[in-house]
A and B are shown apart, each in its own frame.
Chain A
Amino acid sequence: MDNRDIDISDILAEVSRPDHHSGTSQSHSNSYSYSDTDAYSDHQLLTRAWTSERCAPELLPYPHDLMERIMARVQTQISRIEDIASSGPEGGVGQSNGHGYGQGYGYGYGYSNPHKPPGPSGTQNANLILSILQTDLSRTQFLVRSFLRQRLAKLTKHAGWYLAQLQRRQLQDSNVGVEPETERYLSPAESQFLRAHQSLLSELYGSSFLNAFPPTLRRLDDSTGGVPMVEPPDAGAAVVVRCLVDGVWSNEGDVERSESGGGGGNDENGEPATVELRMRRGEVWVVRWRDVRRGVERGELGLL
């Protein structure tokens, strides 16, 4: 651990010092400072995913790799905090009562070894570090939890529709057999939840009242009379987006694709884009979700 830490900070210092390198700094930071920039970029992506999921009327593709990395990092962080907490408390317990004013003075001096600080000021600092690490951990856990719960809320609200989607995609996958598209929108746990939820629900409805009806009226996905029972998420709902790309963003391509796609069977999810939009970087627009969905999924627009 120690070796790696030192290496990275040395390299970082090296990279950030000379200005003439800035043209190639992209590739530099790529090849050297993995763990540093990764945590930060993943944090940004998770925050974006959470905001988008909170603001979009529809379920967005599940970020499998990102969640895996985040969860792994959360696990290591928890064990790190446990390590620090179990090695810390000797002598620190009595002192931690003195939390309050005037603590900020005098920590700086005589404190040279950054890794295992000895002495009373060391334990104080260890307490501080511990509280910072724990706050940081709970903030990330909140993001993950809120993100997943928001997804579950959408799944339960439109369970019938998402289940139909899921089954249709599975059918496609078994036909094609190469690229499983099924797993793109839902995590395995989520598709399991969706199936169990819907089967429990129809069982409950069945046993409590549906069985008393004539057989033709028992279906939960009836669409006779032109009014489908399964309600899709509202793809026309108004959302607020900010344009992130350089230059001009336009959804011409999406609109054209949906027009040439014709019958609607080609579009794998929901209603296609209909209104052509153009926006410049930094602009904020209130528009319909279906017109910007592709842009948000590609990361060109950010939901606000």
Chain B
Amino acid sequence: MAFSNPPGLLPTEVAFLCEMEQVTIVPRQRLERLDLLGGTTRPLIPPQRTNLPLWLAILLKRQRRANIVPPPWLYVESLEEILELETKHFQTSFSLPPAPSSVARQTDFTGKSFYASTPFVESCTASAVPNALPYHWFEMSEMLLDAASDDISDPDRVRQLLRDVREVRLAKMRKEVELLSGDGEGTRLDGVGAMELAESRGFLTGVIDGLRKIDASREQARRDREDEERENRRYNDEDDDDEEDNEMT
């Protein structure tokens, strides 16, 4: 009953999240609007483009009821540009993710506003930017190549480029380890992909937590020293005699 998966999302769970990303489709049949638990879909009227969650788009695609419009970054030219960015311009960090959208604020049932976050920021629709990889780029491209390779132009070349991009980024992830520390100041991973994070999370957090435990005694000593100094200052204000005591000890 209880469940023993380690903290952090598993690759299958990341894929599940990715299936909530909106993608653009061209329907081949009519379908009324549906009130789903994940939000209402618009009525499908061929050949008008609509955005649907990926799982629904794939369901329709598999039954040949729709075609999927691949996101602009999943074309040969865009991937070539991204690969160039990854190798030439961002040699130590990941290339920049798409800029956060300006309409990220939403309101919930009670009227309280909240910030929209990743599977719901529309970074894989036909209107996404072509030269930046979104958070779910790896899973998205895998799933689209699997279910809708006939909607993607030159799928073999796309596959090859994706593999290159992945290798370049994997090497960067490995280099990132050298920058890790246990001091709690944090390490930046801008532009990291969901699947890349899922596969490296155990290692990253393991290293950081391990370093922290090694440093723990040192940090404790530092904190004690700071506390002591603070105490001393307080005593000094009250009474000068204490200073002598401290010097003695």
Which of B4, B30, B33: most chain A CB closer than 10 A? B30
Once bound together, how far apart are the Cα atoms of A275 and B35, in whole Å?
A: 46
Q: Are A44 and B116 in touch, CB under 8 angstroms?
A: yes
- A302 within 8 A of partner (CB): yes
Q: Mark B98-112, 1 if CB is under 8 A from A, else 0.
A: 011000101111110
Q: Is A236's beta carbon under 8 Å from chain B?
A: yes
Judge whether B3 and A47 touch: CB under 8 Å.
no
Contacting pair B111 A41 (CB below 8 A): no
User: Are B208 and A39 in touch, CB under 8 angstroms?
Assistant: no
A36 within 8 A of B: yes
Residues in A whose Cβ lies below 8 Å from that of B192: 240, 284, 304
B108 interface neighbour in A41, A240, A244, Cβ under 8 Å = A41
Across the interface, B97 reaches (CB within 8 A) one of A41, A156, A282, namely: A282
Contact code string A46-57 (vs B, CB < 8 Å = 1, else 0): 011001001111
Enumerate chain B residues within 8 angstroms of A103, measured Cβ to Cβ: 63-65
A282 and B119 form a contact (CB under 8 A): no
> A39 with B38: in contact, given A237-B205, A286-B208 (CB under 8 Å)?
yes
| Interface flag for A266 (CB, 8 Å) | no
Contacts known (A41-B107, A107-B30, A304-B197); A77 close to B37, Cβ less than 8 A? yes
Q: How far is the CA of A30 from the CA of B219 in the complex (A)?
A: 50
Query: A204 within 8 Å of B by Cβ?
Result: no
The stretch that binds B, out of A89-97, A134-142, A171-179, is A134-142
- Choose from B38, B197, B209 the contact partner of A139 (Cβ within 8 Å): B38
Of B16, B35, B63, B187, the contact of A128 (CB 8 Å cutoff): B63
Question: Interface residue tally of chain B, by bracket?
Answer: 35 or more
Q: Give, as a whole number of angstroms, the nearest-CB distance from A66 to chain B.
A: 8
Closest B residue, CB atoms, query A33: B40
Q: Which chain A residues have a beta carbon within 8 Å of chain B's beta carbons?
A: 5, 9, 26, 30, 35-45, 47-48, 51, 54-57, 65, 69-70, 73-74, 77, 101-105, 107-108, 111, 114-115, 125, 128-129, 131-133, 135-137, 139-140, 142, 146, 149-150, 152-153, 156, 234, 236-240, 242, 244-245, 274-275, 277, 281-288, 291, 299-300, 302, 304
Distance, CA A108 to CA B43, complexed state (A): 12
- Contact in complex: B115, A40 (CB < 8 Å): no
B187 contact set on A, CB distance < 8 A: 285-287
Cβ of B248 under 8 Å from chain A: no
Q: Is the CB of A41 within 8 A of B106?
A: yes
Chain A residues lying within 8 Å of B28, measured Cβ to Cβ, are 104-105, 108
Q: What is the bound-complex CA distance between A99 and B91, given in angstroms?
A: 51
